[in-house]
Amino acid sequence: MGQKRLINIGVLYGITDSNTVKIGHDLSKIKSIKNAFLDFKDDRIAGFGSMEDLTESNAEEIDVEGGIVYPSYVDCHTHLVFAANREDEFVDRIKGLSYQEIASNGGGILNSAAKLQSMSEDELFEDALHRLNKLIRLGTGAIEIKSGYGLTLEAELKMLRVIKRLKDENLIPVKSTFLGAHAFPKEYANDHDAYVDLIINEMLPAIHAENLADYIDAFCEEGYFTVTQTERIVKAGLKYGLKSRLHVNQFTSSGAIEMATRNKAISVEHLEVMTENDINTLANTNIFGVALPACSFFLKIPYTPARQLIERNIPFVLASDYNPGSSPTGNLSFVMSLACIYMNILPEEALNALTINAAAALEIENEVGSIAINKKANVIVSKNIKSINAVPYSFAQNTIDDVYVNGKKFL
């Protein structure tokens, strides 16, 4: 602990004067200092500036050798806790089955739920902690994690307790989202509303009693939860003080965005299929639009029309959607590449979408998401590149040399 000073930083990116969300033209604006230093005191950022203005200090010096430093990524949409990979379904898709066909044959989310139900809380925790450590090394400095592979009262509680234990490890900030409405268990195949009743009348009160969730989510989609069912869940969540962050418009547009707007959701996520009306509806709100390009890439579905969202001043965010079915990666440098290549997002826009805007979408913008005095000293160091442009350019390569978490090098 104590004092550390990163010196000879070629470019220090992501400095902010305020924690305001970046929208429209501002999304491409990122404040940086060339030839900079950055000071940490204990777990916080304590100062920064030009090397020319360096003052005496007895801090431990770390030479970045002209490389770049930028704030750690914030991943605001993950399903990090799961029992097993689903690589066999991946091969089924190569052979021609669709994601939806695999799900209706008993694969997909129900496959993940069956495996998770039979795994112990301790095993789930160990696996998830291992994954979290790997993500931190890839630059993730704060994360949201959803339940949703339990689908029974006991198994949803088990998942949320695992997330709570990850939070209590105090590695990086963790936000927890209850996603009981991820799929309908087989037993409810003929009575979907009864499962919605179970979520509202049994799961939510139990989760509230243990204070296990920060947000509520539902997979609002054809074949999953209808707009009406999702709205019931969102309203029930609000009674327990849980704002909603919702899976919407992944495969179809069905009025979910209007519903989310009516109920003051904090974010709408996925958005691969957006009508003119959806964009108009969202444009007049400050609801975050979260795009998940790794899911589009892996499932070969359309990419979110990000440029249109940005032009209409919708607060734009990127996240990984890390999960075993539709996005088996949490590598946000790769997400940045996909956003730049397939959504025509500039590297600076992608960085803002993955840092300050993502932090605001998780309501932790006072803690993380930029270089500012007293924010957490969670930063990424890339010694061998000269600009942020090289991060998305170097797709599928690791450009990160070191990450600092709470002011310490994370090994």
Binding residues for ligand NIG (CB under 6 A): 108-109, 112, 219, 247, 250, 295, 321, 323-326
Size of the site for Fe ion (CB under 5 A): 1
Inter-residue contact 175 to 143 (CB < 8 Å):
yes
Q: How far is the CB of 30 from Fe ion (least distance, A)?
A: 27
Inter-residue contact 348 to 321 (CB < 8 Å):
no
Burial of 350 (0-12, 13-18, 19+ CB in 10 A): buried
> Could you say which of 321, 348, 365, 367 contacts Fe ion (CB under 5 A)?
321
Q: Report which residue's Cβ sits closest to Fe ion.
A: 321
Closer of 248 and 380 to ligand NIG (Cβ) = 248
Residue 156 binding result from Fe ion, ligand NIG, none, given CB thresholds of 5 to 8 Å by partner type: none
Q: How far is the CB of 307 from ligand NIG (least distance, A)?
A: 22
Closer of 12 and 256 to ligand NIG (Cβ) = 256
Residue 217 touches Fe ion, criterion: CB under 5 A: no
Would you state the torsion angle of the CA atoms of residues 75, 78, 80, 84, taken in this order, to the nearest 10 degrees?
-140
Q: How far is the CB of 404 from Fe ion (least distance, A)?
A: 28
Q: How far is the CB of 103 from ligand NIG (least distance, A)?
A: 8
Residue 109 binding result from Fe ion, ligand NIG, none, given CB thresholds of 5 to 8 Å by partner type: ligand NIG
**Alpha helices, DSSP H, located in 65-120:** 87-94, 99-104, 108-117
Q: Which residues contact 310 (CB under 8 A, 6 or more apart)?
A: 23, 24, 27, 316, 345, 349
Q: How far is the CB of 18 from Fe ion (least distance, A)?
A: 30
Token look-up 């789930």 returns 124
Q: How far is the CB of 180 from ligand NIG (least distance, A)?
A: 13
CA distance 127 to 133: 10
Q: What share of the chain is helix, strand, coil (3-state, %, to 5)?
A: 40, 25, 40
Q: How far is the CB of 148 from ligand NIG (least distance, A)?
A: 7
Residue 295 binding result from Fe ion, ligand NIG, none, given CB thresholds of 5 to 8 Å by partner type: ligand NIG
Residue 108 binding result from ligand NIG, Fe ion, none, given CB thresholds of 5 to 8 Å by partner type: ligand NIG
Q: How far is the CB of 354 from Fe ion (least distance, A)?
A: 16
Phi and psi of 245, rounded to 5°?
A: -130, 115
Closer of 353 and 371 to ligand NIG (Cβ) = 353
Inter-residue contact 252 to 273 (CB < 8 Å):
yes
Phi and psi of 346, rounded to 5°?
A: -75, 150
Closer of 323 and 382 to ligand NIG (Cβ) = 323
Radius of gyration of the chain (CA): 21
The residue range among 61-69, 235-243, 320-328, 345-353 that interacts with Fe ion, by the rule CB under 5 A, is 320-328
CA distance 361 to 58: 37
Dihedral sign for Cα atoms in the order 104, 293, 158, 132 = positive
Inter-residue contact 281 to 304 (CB < 8 Å):
no
The residue range among 18-26, 188-196, 208-216, 318-326 that interacts with Fe ion, by the rule CB under 5 A, is 318-326
Closer of 174 and 371 to Fe ion (Cβ) = 174
CA distance 198 to 383: 52
Closer of 219 and 297 to ligand NIG (Cβ) = 219
Residues that bind Fe ion (CB under 5 A): 321
